């Protein structure tokens, strides 16, 4: 099936099965910021924006790309610069596998006027898992980027 969409503001055409996972389709196309963690919609490492909404690309199928506007972390470098720096400075990154998912979620949360309250930030991260940091430094780094 021919699938037309925009990825990071560029027109793209994929010729793939409509049931192929978007995670695989995009990674095969070179967008490797999205990672396969759990592959079942639990860890958020494969998060991308589709039509301005953050979703798990492991739960999307190619069919859903058709006509959509996609952003991966590769296409949001300027927009997420502050958060990325805050993560680096605050020690919110250890192995880094989950980081692109966290950065995108933090970016979306801050952009949508999320509260600075620690509990609210923790709740906002309910779709992202990190097995290294214990979350505290991630939460602090997001708080810091909002100052």
Q: Which two tokens stand for residue 105?
A: 């979620």
Does residue number 40 form part of the binding site for another protein (CB under 8 A)?
A: yes
Least CB distance to another protein at residue 78 (A): 23
Report how far residue 106's alpha carbon sits from residue 101's, in angstroms, rounded to the nearest whole number: 9
Q: Shortest Cβ distance from residue 7 to another protein (Å)?
A: 18
The correct pick among 6, 8, 12, 42 for binding another protein (CB under 8 A) is: 42
Strand order in the sheet with 47-50: 10-15, 2-7, 69-71, 47-50, 53-56
> Which residue in 5, 20, 83, 98 binds another protein (CB under 8 A)?
20
Distance CA 75, CA 79 (A): 9
In the complex, the residues that contact another protein under the rule CB under 8 A are 1, 16-21, 24, 28, 40-42, 44, 47, 53-56, 59-61, 63-64, 105, 123-124, 126-128
């Amino acid at each position: 099936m021919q699938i037309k969409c925009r990825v990071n503001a560029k027109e793209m055409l994929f010729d793939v099965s409509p049931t192929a996972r978007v995670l695989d389709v995009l990674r095969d196309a070179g967008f490797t910021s999205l990672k396969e963690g759990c592959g079942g919609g639990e860890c958020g490492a494969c998060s991308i924006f589709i039509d301005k909404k953050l979703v798990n690309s492991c739960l999307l199928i190619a069919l859903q790309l058709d006509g959509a506007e996609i952003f991966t972390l590769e296409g949001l470098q300027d927009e997420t610069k502050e958060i990325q720096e805050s993560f680096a400075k605050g020690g919110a990154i250890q192995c880094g596998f989950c980081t692109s998912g966290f950065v995108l979620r933090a970016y979306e949360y801050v952009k949508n006027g999320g509260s600075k309250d620690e509990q609210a930030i923790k709740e906002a991260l309910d779709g992202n898992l990190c097995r290294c940091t214990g979350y505290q430094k991630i939460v602090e780094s997001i708080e810091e980027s909002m100052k």
